[in-house]
Chains A and B, each alone.
Chain A
Amino acid sequence: MGGFRIGGKGRKRTRGVGHQAPHWSIIALFILPAFLLYTVFMVWPLFQSLYFSLFEFKGLARGSFVGLRNFRELLTRYPLNEQLPRAFLHNVYFFIGTMLVQNTMGLLLARLLYAPRWGKRFFQVVYTMPYLISALVVGYLWSLMLNPLFGPINYILRAVGLGSWARPWLGDPHTALTAIILVNAWQWVGFPMLLFSAGLTNISDEIREAARIDGATSWRLFFHIELPLLLPVIGIVTVLTFIGNFNVFGIVWAMGGVNGEPAGSTDVLGLVFYRTAFRGGVDAFGLASALAVLMFIFIFGVSLFMLGRFRKWEEHLT
């Protein structure tokens, strides 16, 4: 690419790239601080997890090489062998629930707000606001709202004659996780909405106009034109939701505590990982490293798989 570049004459002169690069020592001065900080505190520890997972730990001290023993322990030792699959299923449920509630709602809101209408900015800002608040604050706020005795939600349900619906939402193992998923969606819905809004803006008006001239109703326009063209954004939203949901931590801690109460019904991988590492036995660090490796492979692998699938889908459609 760069072999036949002659001066800057024939090229577009507005772009800044393509200068003669400065001396390597200057390059290093500019890049090294970020490189070191990022490598030492982020990349290197991530690789070390892989390495540490193969060793036995005694407290903070790394002992002998034990091969895959930590992985075997993870899957066979009580109570981990029960908590881990259960937490995994809860994360899967969390992801499916979030896709159905939060992202569908985000798409709906984005579509409703697409047509130029009064107050578009206002609604966007309002819907995005909870995203700013700490997951922990949101969790605590809603655990007060859903409190069985003094919580406003049950109070309102009783006041409007739906008293039979009033229940200890977070105290009942059947409703607790669903309640957390809804609260999480309440916090995050603005995010898919903004991404879908941006995606809708990128669809050219000519396409819409052409479809309208051909007699397409707005319903058909949405399902046959806009939705397929939004596929790249849907892909991004799906993958980000997946990554976010499999890392969920603060909101569950605030609403279900470190053990995912009631009765482990809200336990998720993030909490299991934390407990394994910092509330575990003497060999905790080896086990936690092994769990980190498994989670990393799973989350990264599935994300890549999903991105690939969506790309194929797009090619198929265009």
Chain B
Amino acid sequence: MSKFVDKTLAEIVDYIKDAVFSEEYAKLNAFLQKISPKVKFISFMVLITATIFARNVYIILVFFSASLMLASLSRIPLRFYIPRVLIFIPIFTGIIALPYIFNVFQPYEGTPLVVLHDFQRVIDLPLLRPFSRIEITSEGVFWASTFLARVTTAVSFAILLMLTTRWSDLVNALNALRFPKMFVLILGMAYRYIFLLLDMVSKMLFSRKSRAAGKESSVSSWKLNAGIVGALFLKSYDMSEDIYLAMLSRGFNGEFMHVHADSQPRRSAKDFMFLSTIIIFCISALLAEVMV
């Protein structure tokens, strides 16, 4: 467990570093970067929603190819983009999908693909279907991979939006789309704090690790995690006071404005073309699914 936590955390920290680094791509002068953030946000919401309604694995692949194509058009190297999309899939979605490939967790009998263990007798556990073998079934693998493919594609669009849009432009777009002011303000601040707090957590874990020897019991690792959350909370409270004072001294009065704010909202024919192409693409992909 503690190894898993360490690994998760190391990956998160790396990801965050990538995320900061990735404003590099948002500054390029390529295809998606030139679309206005507002239109881009709406278009990607359409793409994500359409992906989630797709149930046929081939249609999901069509959506995924579209995201790869958009990424190449925007001069994002695929060897950077694909790992970036995949890094969190196993941690959050993979662990939900994984149990389903085994027959014991499935609601009905499937076609066995690999038999992992044969008990030679029927085992009747509470809540589970009686089973005599543990096996990986083809239905389970099919369900899990469709599920993973769908989530991966949806995440790939969300990440592409992030990679090609500066965070401040995105926050401004949400503001322009009439999201509640309070929501946009807190979103903008919380996003930045996450980077800072993560750094704090990884330092705390690292310093604790550097002083520990031997194997740790799960009780003590629980205590450690509780303590770290407690310390994190107190540190962050003190920080929020400092930030409030810093904001006050720069003239904060409850209203806010972001840097790089769009001085004149561009509404070009290109934006319109992009949005319509996306909508037509999504409708035809979903229609194709109904017909297949």
**A and B interact:** no
